[in-house]
């Protein structure tokens, strides 16, 4: 008698409900009457997974908050943790320029101006444009912060010494900037005797917490580190009765640049009082020196790119053109009106 032959291998066991489709399949996903599961999990499975993630995220939150608390406990409340030489900024500030460039040219250092501009209408209220008047508007916005004198002291009668701990910051009187503190700051031709713009540029120190500069020691002016200081500034320092200043010295970088423009300083002594230092936060008026770039006779050097450099001078200053330490470099171009 012949036995029936069976195929080798197993037979796949299909799960219950494998042939469901469409709405019936969705209904069983929401609730399965056979197992009591809803949304594909039984009640006991939901309780276990909710309990697990509740504990997991609670512990994770406690760990994260603890790390933040430990981090903030290591920081002072009102001052940076690392200052001066311990910080990345160091104790050798660079110089900044105002007015700043418009946002679209924020990485540029070239003041490209129309030599004979009389246009008094800015591109917009913020002066975000390339017209001469836009530079003046941005300068006006910058100087506007000096109207806030809350929490500042009038130090006009104080000794010209750095402020000690606990003393409030000093008011900076922008009247010392003379015509460079008055709108439109030389960016427009608005005087009958002039036929070309003679812009003002403000020089400011980058703020470094608790930096107290020391004045130049006049006995060291013959040392090699002062070889790049102009003879005019050396003479000014030697003749000055009050030496407690941080000095600023500007010039063209090349002989052709120096022949094309004359630099006038406001205040005329080229210095910033030590009483405006150090910076310790709160309301603060950044001290300024203004330079006015005047033409040297005729002809006007239309279209010439004039390269300029301003250096700060105080005891121990380091000048580095690569990292812009202790100095700032910029360009001026006066373009003829069409």
How far from chain centre, in Å, is Cα 110? 18
For residues 120 and 254, state if they share a domain. Answer: yes
**Could you tell me the strand order of the sheet in which 305-313 lies?**
110-114, 327-335, 305-313, 245-252, 271-273
Residue 281: its pLDDT value, please?
82
Q: Does the pLDDT of residue 36 top 80, yes or no?
A: no
Structure confidence by residue, pLDDT tens digits, 240-251:
888 899 999 999
Q: Considering the domain boundaries, does residue 79 fall inside one?
A: no
- Report if residue 220 sits inside a domain: yes
Q: Is 282 within the bounds of a domain?
A: yes
Residues 319 and 190 in one domain: yes
Q: Tell me, yes or no, whether 36 and 175 share the same domain.
A: no
The pLDDT assigned to 119 comes to 86
What phi and psi values does residue 53 have, to the nearest 5 degrees? -70, -30
Please compute the mean of the pLDDT values over residues 160-180 and round it to a whole number.
90
Choosing from 70, 87, 114, the residue where a domain stops is 70
SS3 of the chain: the string is CCCCCCCCCCCCCCCCCCCCCHHHHHHHHHCECCCCEECCECHHHHHHHHHHHHHHHHHHHHHHHHHHHHHHHCCCCCCCCCCHHHCCCCCCCCEEEECCCCHHHCCCCEEEEECCCCCCCCCCCCCCCCCHHHHHHHHHHHHHHHHCCCCCECCCCCCCCCCCCCCCCECCCHHHHHHHHCCCCCCCCCCCCCCCCCCEEEEEECCCECCCCCCCCHHHCCCHHHCCCCHHHHHHHHHCCCCCEEEEEEEECCHHHHHHEEEEEECCCCEEEHHHCCECCCCCCCCEEEEEEEECCCCCCCCCEEEEEEEEECCCCCCECCCCECEEEEEEEEECCC
In a domain, residue 84? The reply is: no
Count of domains in the chain?
Answer: 2
Residue 138 and residue 182 share a domain: yes
Indicate if 256 and 107 belong to the same structural domain: yes
Contact 253, 329 (CB under 8 A): yes
CATH code for the domain of 162: 2.60.40.1660
Question: Does 65 share its domain with 132?
Answer: no
Q: Is residue 88 part of a domain?
A: no
Do 27 and 167 sit in the same domain of this protein? Answer: no
Q: Tell me the average pLDDT across 311-325.
A: 90
9 in any annotated domain: no
Do 163 and 59 share a structural domain?
no
Model's pTM, two decimal places? 0.77
Q: 124 and 214, same structural domain? A: yes
Tokens of 52: 């697990």
Q: Answer yes or no: is 83 within a domain.
A: no
Average pLDDT over residues 146-162: 85
Helix (H, G, I), strand (E, B) or coil at 311: strand
Residue 194 clears pLDDT 80, i.e. is over it: no
The answer to whether the beta carbons of residues 213 and 131 sit under 8 Å apart is: no
Mean pLDDT of 12-18: 69
User: Does residue 85 lie in a domain region?
Assistant: no
Query: 55 and 104, same structural domain?
Result: no
Q: Which domain holds residue 204?
A: 96-335
48/112 same-domain check:
no
Q: How confident is the model at residue 141 (pLDDT cuts 50, 70, 90)?
A: very high
Closest to 97 measured CA to CA, from 269, 334, 272, 290 = 290
Q: Which of 6-15, 50-59, 123-132, 157-166 has the lowest mean pLDDT?
A: 6-15
Structure tokens at 92: 């050798």
Residues 66 and 121 in one domain: no
- The confidence score (pLDDT) of residue 7 equals 59
């Amino acid at each position: 008698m012949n036995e029936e032959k069976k195929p080798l291998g197993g037979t796949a066991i299909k799960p219950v409900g494998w042939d469901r489709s469409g709405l019936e399949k969705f209904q069983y996903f929401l609730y399965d009457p056979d197992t009591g599961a809803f949304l594909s999990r039984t009640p006991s499975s939901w309780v276990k997974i909710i309990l697990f993630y509740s504990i997991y995220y609670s512990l994770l939150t406690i760990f994260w908050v603890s790390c933040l608390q430990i981090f903030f406990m290591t920081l002072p409340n009102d001052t940076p943790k690392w200052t001066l030489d311990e910080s990345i900024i160091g104790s050798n500030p660079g110089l900044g320029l105002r007015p700043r460039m418009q946002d679209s040219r924020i990485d540029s250092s070239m003041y490209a101006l129309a030599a004979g501009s009389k246009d008094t209408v800015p591109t917009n209220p913020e002066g975000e444009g390339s017209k001469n008047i836009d530079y003046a508007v941005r300068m006006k916005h910058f100087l506007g912060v000096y109207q806030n004198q809350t929490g500042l002291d009038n130090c006009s009668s104080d000794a010209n010494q750095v402020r000690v701990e606990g003393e409030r910051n000093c008011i900076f009187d922008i009247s010392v900037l003379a015509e460079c503190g008055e709108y439109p700051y030389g960016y427009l031709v608005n005087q009958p005797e002039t036929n070309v713009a003679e812009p003002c540029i403000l020089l400011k120190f980058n703020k470094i917490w608790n930096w107290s500069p020391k004045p130049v020691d006049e006995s060291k002016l013959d040392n090699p580190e002062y070889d790049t200081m102009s003879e005019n500034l050396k003479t000014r320092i030697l003749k000055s009765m009050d030496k407690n200043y941080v000095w600023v010295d500007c010039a063209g970088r090349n002989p052709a640049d120096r022949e094309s423009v004359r630099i006038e300083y406001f205040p005329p002594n080229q210095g910033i009082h030590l009483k405006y230092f150090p910076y310790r936060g709160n309301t603060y008026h950044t001290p300024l020196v203004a330079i006015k770039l005047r033409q040297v006779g005729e002809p006007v050097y239309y279209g010439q790119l004039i390269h300029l450099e301003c250096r700060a001078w105080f005891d121990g200053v380091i000048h580095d053109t690569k990292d812009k330490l202790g100095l700032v470099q910029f360009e001026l171009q006066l373009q003829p009106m069409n």
